[in-house]
Each structure stands twice: as structure tokens, then as C-alpha cells.
Structure 1
Amino acid sequence: MSFSANEIASLAHKAARGAGFPPRQADVFGAAAVHHLAAGGTPSALRRALADPTDSPILRLPLLTEDILRALTLSGPEVTLTLQPGDEALALAYTALMHIHIERSVVDRPEGAPPRLTLCADLDTPTRTRLPARIDAPADLIEHLSGLAAKTLVAPSVASRNAGAGAGNIDND
């Protein structure tokens, strides 16, 4: 199925909120999900990230981007940072959100060591990653994201109607 970047970002954001993630992290995850899928990333990485709102790349990777900017400012154009196991699948998608010119970025896992991200970037050259007009996403991923997003909806009730939920009488004509 083909979707616009905004449709994917919005659905992934709502899915993260439905899974129990804080609003800011859910928002960043929505944007990262777009970059991940546009780069040919696996849907399973998105599902795994949404699985546990207490231990997830959704919580850690926004902090990693702050560390990258700090490290680039202090040490120069190339940095290597250690990743938490499980974060490597989405790390490059989060770095794409940084709006700096990244000349090279690699995630590797040396034998017997935690995964790490190495990138070479130019802080003085702002850039935006170009996304395709449409992004293909498998139906089962969309179904999974939609199921989580549905958890953000309030069940209809007399109390919610009296509090102003739903369309008013004038809106239903």
C-alpha cells in the first residue's frame, strides 16, 4: 500500500501514543518511521520499537541525536557513539531528522561489543533529507499501527457526549 509521508508520520505518531509513549517522543518517532520506511527499513523494527514504552529506541534515540550534535561540536566532523542493543535498526532514521549534512553514517556491531554509530557530518551545512512522494508500507504494518492508534480514541458514552465529544446537532445535517 502506498501512503504519503504525512500519513505515515501521523499514523506512527498516534500508534506510539496508543502504545504509551510521551507526546514528544511519539512525534519524533512518527517522523523517524517515515525516514526508516523510505530508506527500505523493515517494518519489524517499528513493531519492536513500539512493543515496550519503558525500554525502547523511541525513548533513547532522540537523546542520541543530542549527543551527536554535542560530540560533533566538541570533537570535529567524525564521531562514533555506542548504541543500546536494539537501537541500531532505527538509528540512521533518527539521524536523518537532524537537518545537518551527513556525509557518511554507518551502524556496525563489532564482535563482542555493543552496536555503534559512526558518522561524518558538516554542522555548517544545513540540509533536509528528500523523501519520496509516496512510501510503500505493508498492510500488516498499517494494521498494527492503526490498532495501537485506536487506543487513543475515547469510547463513546453519554458522559463524553455531554462533555462535548463528537459532532453537534448542527454538524449532522
Structure 2
Amino acid sequence: MNDRPRLTVLSGPSGVGKSTVVAHMRKAHPEVWLSVSATTRRPRPGERHGVHYFFVEDEEFDKLVANGELLEWAEFAGNRYGTPRRAVLDRLEAGEPVLLEIDLQGARLVRSSMPEARLVFLAPPSWEELVRRLTGRGTEPPDVIERRLTEARKELAAESEFDVTLVNTSVEDVAGELLALLC
């Protein structure tokens, strides 16, 4: 590992496999710290406070924003999500690799507040494959899928804003490439 790891941000369009890649990498390398976001969303079955998210009320989220305690935050589907700043800085100061898995808007905010962060864009092998992955989930109605695809077009157009692009042709290969960037 480098003497001074820096913050690495993984972003890319919905359905590209960000969570799958991160889970695969962390299974083999649990020492890589993944930031836990705060959210105003209600917990889903099986989600635990402090593990999957820090579940907070709107008023508490407002205070986090007002006090500058979030490195970045965004609203998505009527809920707010944000990265607690102190936890990230503490881990970096301790010399640990830190990974954020966030959306394009969040990545842009991190870039402006921490220009030394490495932004990694996870791209699909092709547009057709991304469409297949999003529609193949079978978990969302057609109008939601269409919104996600519209957003994905915008996110793909922002690829040049990132320092590195990884193409998700193989979860194992991309997880290895991401780990190499972190170390």
C-alpha cells in the first residue's frame, strides 16, 4: 500500500454493477473501507442502521448539511443520501484506503471539495448490455427503467470528468483493477 492512500470514488450509471464489483472486492479484501452513507430513506427489510446506511430523519439530515458534516449529498427518488465527512477523513488520516460508491452528482461534489480524490468511472461494455442489465432485473416498472436509462445517457456523457475508466466486462477483473487503484 502507498504511504498516503487517497480517497477513491466509484461512480457510473445505474445497472452497471457498482455494488456487485464493490461487494466482490470487499469479500476478498475487507480491509478496504467503504463509507456508509446517511439517508432519509426508510430501512428496507434486512437493512441495519450503521451497516447499510445511517438512517436519519429529515431534520437530522438538515443539520448535517448545515454544519458541513457531509462530504457530498444528493437527492434521489424523494430521499436524501450523503457521505459523512469525518469518518472519511479519519480513515484517510489513519492510512487506510477509502472507497465511496456514489452517483455522478456526488462524485462532482467530492471533486470540488477534495480535488486530490481519484474518480473512477465504471462503464458498461456497451449500451445494449446496460439496457439488458436494467431490464433484466425485473424489479422495476417500465417507466422507472426508462427514467434510469435517460439518466444513464447523461452519466455516460460525463465519463471524461473522471480520472480512470474501468469497463465492467468481468466482475472479478474489474474488482481486481479497482483494488489495484486503491492500494
Q: When the two structures are superposed, what TM-score results if normalisation uses the length of structure 1?
A: 0.27
Return the structure number with greater strand share: 2
Larger radius of gyration: 1
Q: When the two structures are superposed, what TM-score results if normalisation uses the length of structure 2?
A: 0.26
Q: Which structure exhibits the higher relative contact order, with contacts defined as CA atoms closer than 8 Å and separated by 6 or more residues?
A: 2
